[in-house]
Amino acid sequence: MKITILGAYQTKFGELWDKSLKDLSSEAAFGAVEDAGVLFKDIQTAYFGNKMSPQITGQNHVGSLLAEILGTDIPITRIEAACASGGSAVRQACMAIESGQYETALVLGAEKMTDLAISEISVGLMGAASEQERESGLSFVGLYALMARKYFDKYGAGEKDLAAIAVKNHFHGSLNPKAQFPFVLTIDQVMASSMVADPLKLLDCSPITDGAAGLVLASEKYAKKLGSKKPVIIASKQASDTLSLSKRKDLTSLAGAEKAAGEAYRQAGVEAKDIEFAEVHDCFTIAEAMALEDLGFCKKGEGYIAVGKGKTRLGGERAINLSGGLKACGHPVGATGVKQLVEVYSQMMGRAGKRQTKKNKLALTHNIGGTGGTAVVHIVRSAKCKAQSEKSKKE
């Protein structure tokens, strides 16, 4: 697979009460097209990652809504895969181009979440959980708290170990002007924040966020015509797991993420050790600890140790969540998976400002839906990186 990222754009993330879903989507779409250096008439199809529009606005037909906003008649498909909607939209666009039907595609992820009360948003989000979990009165923070407790019991981690993940991501977020929370935290501040679902505190949790992100993708042939020297997606894989935690054998790992990552490494012809930086789905701090292990960056039970030693910080062994992650950058659920690739693009193009990493030739993104029922992994190679290994397998 060789799908070029021609352009990318992210809106400011936050409580954007003066902007609608239409405003955010339009800004991200036209921003990405402008960055790609093409005209909108050159875009042949589009995929829109969005979860909450039906619950928040009652608008289900958002593909047509987006066509109206953009003034186009190209095919636009809404993709819903809970919090992995954005990553899944990118994958669908990659497959559409790989099929040969299209040479170019626009991918958007957008969400407007702050217009309703938190209780109403929580009900909408829990549509991504099982009926049993909803009827038990659980929320996603409660579900991830169950995983955190099991992880603590199995590996000996504690609340301060998770707090260190929040501190690291807020340091990165403080360097990102588009982050929802661009400020640093201390361990003591995380530990002093109110308990939401033991052992997860308020500052262990990603926020409710408005925002959008966009990408323009193109075939290798089309990119060559433009003389493009832009980052290339060399693997795109998705896997599933049970909807309910009660059906799983292990609560300290996401099997879908492990499978998607393994298949992505094989498709790209690389190994986990080759990845120089990554954007992972830290909806809660425990999720990042597990992600580091599921992706093969650390041995089982050692994800939190790597964070504590500074290995995942800017300038460390392998920087994780340079954008600030979901925790500090924000989590507009349909946009997150797209934003992850926008961050990778920015790093590889040398545009990341104070959070710029020197190790920026090979990256991975990891986008999770619900408690791991959907997992999407992409691997991206910079234009400076060597040609793709001969081991690379076609999808």
Q: Measured on CA atoms in the order 190, 195, 199, 202, is the torsion positive or negative?
A: negative
Closest alpha carbon to 110 in 164, 159, 157, 69 = 69
- Give dist(CA 371, CA 244) in Å, integer: 8
- Give dist(CA 60, CA 52) in Å, integer: 9
Q: Choosing from 83, 94, 283, 385, which is the catalytic residue?
A: 83
127 HSE (CA, 13 A, CB side)? 16
Give the residues across from 8 on adjacent strands: 215
Strands (E), the chain: 3-10, 46-49, 76-79, 104-111, 195-197, 200-201, 211-219, 232-240, 277-279, 319-320, 362-369, 374-381
- Give dist(CA 195, CA 69) in Å, integer: 42
Helix, strand or coil, per DSSP, at residue 160: helix
Q: Are 237 and 279 in contact (CB under 8 A)?
A: no
List C-alpha distances in Å: 54 to 50, 78, 138, 294, 395: 9, 12, 22, 32, 33
Q: Choosing from 170, 281, 331, 378, which is the catalytic residue?
A: 331
Assign residue 226 a region (left: φ > 0; alpha: ψ between -120 and 50; beta: otherwise). Answer: alpha
Helix, strand or coil, per DSSP, at residue 72: coil
* Angle subtended by helix axes 140-155 and 285-294, to nearest 10: 60
Question: Which H or E run includes 123?
Answer: helix 118-125
83 is annotated as an active-site residue:
yes
* Angle subtended by helix axes 285-294 and 255-268, to nearest 10: 50
Active site residues: 83, 331
